[in-house]
Amino acid sequence: MACLRCGFKFNCICAIEPQLQSAADFVLLTHARESSKDTNTGILMTRTLPSCRVEMWHRTQPPQALLDQLQHPDYQAWLVFPSDEQHLATPLTLPTTNNTKLLLIIIDATWQEARKMVRKSSWLNQLPRIALTPQNTSSYSLRRNQKPGHLCTCEVGIELLKQLHQPQAAQQLQDYFTHFIEIYHADKSGHAK
């Protein structure tokens, strides 16, 4: 029987799951098709970062809790978006004040779906954007036809933690992600690693 938390049958990874803290809050704005995929890496962030939550994206009905949070003066919200878009800020230049907390919204979908989600959501278009230009190529190998230079959701979280000057948390999440990728193939093949 598969583990109820990590989903693996032969190689439970719950024992190595780190518990991390972050200076920012994260919201994974998740496409409906993404939420049921066992290859989704956003779950690795929600398991390890108490400040990370999922909000489901619906074209005609934006998540009210997130809309309310965007209006709250204690938060400074940024939309994380592909680096090939123009006119984007970078996390290193994010202006913050002592009175606000960063709210980083990550689109949890393929980049093709992410573009459609933003295009169809006027409330997302109004947010300032962060573009990531990763130093390394993606090590995500669980899906085909991935565009070069684009990261999976968990890798985006790792890069953001680095940008937030939290290298230890970034490394712990990277190690957990790497282990997840390695175990995934063995577990789906029906054997222990």
pLDDT in tens, 113-158: 888 898 899 999 889 888 777 666 666 655 555 555 568 889 999 9
Which two structure tokens, joined as six digits, stand for 102? 């960063």
SS3 124: helix
Which two structure tokens, joined as six digits, stand for 133? 């230009």
The pLDDT of residue 146 is 53
Query: pLDDT digit string (tens) for 44-93?
Result: 999 999 999 999 999 889 999 999 999 999 999 999 876 554 444 454 44
Rounded Cα–Cα distance for residues 109 and 59 (Å)? 14
The pLDDT of residue 115 is 84
Q: Is the pLDDT of residue 191 over 60?
A: yes
Rounded Cα–Cα distance for residues 79 and 186 (Å)? 35
Q: What is the mean pLDDT of the chain?
A: 83
For the beta sheet containing 129-131, the strands, ordered from the edge strand earlier in sequence to the opposite edge, are 52-56, 25-30, 101-108, 75-81, 129-131
The pLDDT of residue 92 is 43
Q: Is the pLDDT of residue 21 over 90?
A: yes
**In the block, residue with structure tokens 């278009």:** 125
Question: 24: pLDDT confidence band, cut at 50, 70 and 90?
Answer: very high
Degrees (nearest 5) of the Cα angle 121, 125, 127? 125
Cβ–Cβ under 8 Å, residues 82 and 114: yes
- pTM to 2 decimal places: 0.87
**What average pLDDT score do residues 177-181 get?**
90
**What average pLDDT score do residues 160-167 get?**
91
Can you state the percent helix, strand and coil of the chain, rounding each to 5?
A: 35, 15, 50
